[in-house]
Amino acid sequence: MPLLLVRLLAALPLSWLQAIGRLLGTAVYLFPGRYRRRLRTNAAQAGYTDPAFGRRAAAESGAMILEIPKVWWRTPQCLALTGGDQESVVREALSEGRGVLYLTPHLGCFEITARHLTQYGPLTVMFRPSRSPVLDPIVESARDMHNLHAVPANRNGVREFVRALKRGEAVGMLPDQVPREGDGVWLPFFGRYALTMTLA
């Protein structure tokens, strides 16, 4: 049932999904709780103390989340809206045959970035398996596509990364993913210590 719902969402116009996502993101932010507290604390630490910033950030997070079904199941439509001015850099890096490591934090629609990069050749991406058994079949059915191979963020995934790089292919990871305790290092970030990965 959840997979059917997500596929139905993908059929909606992108502007509708973004508008619905902004409403949902704002609604979540308006309820006092951990999400709002954490967003406000992190924003203030980065120098954004205006409460309106938190509402806007929550709204855009909601829009980004509801874009994902469209990106996953209507990829050609979304790619038609996507472009970049760094094609020569990507092609030159791949032509060296040593492999390419893309680091793309959770900023903007990172899901379309991977799909956009597959036009230059195979790409292996690392993802953290969801914590919800309901979401697992949705994610598994959507992440892989032609030239895009998703691997879990564990030792097996790291082995797949190394193999892809040895073949001269590209790999991509989200460097802001929080590693498991013991797998990363604590480093200062905006005046506080944050656990960060060392894999990159």
What is the domain partition of the chain in residue ranges? 2-78, 82-173
CA torsion angle 92 95 98 99 (round to 10): 70
- Tell me: pLDDT of 61 over 80: yes
Which band of pLDDT confidence, cut at 50, 70 and 90, is reported for residue 181? low
Its CATH class, for the domain covering 82-173, is alpha beta
| Confidence (pLDDT) at 1 | 61
CA distance 171 to 102: 6
- Report whether 24 contacts 62 (CB < 8 A): yes
Least confident of 42-46, 117-121, 169-173, 181-185: 181-185
Beta strands in 29-180 (DSSP E): 100-103, 123-127, 148-152, 170-173
Q: Is the pLDDT of residue 57 over 80?
A: yes
Predicted pLDDT at 175:
83
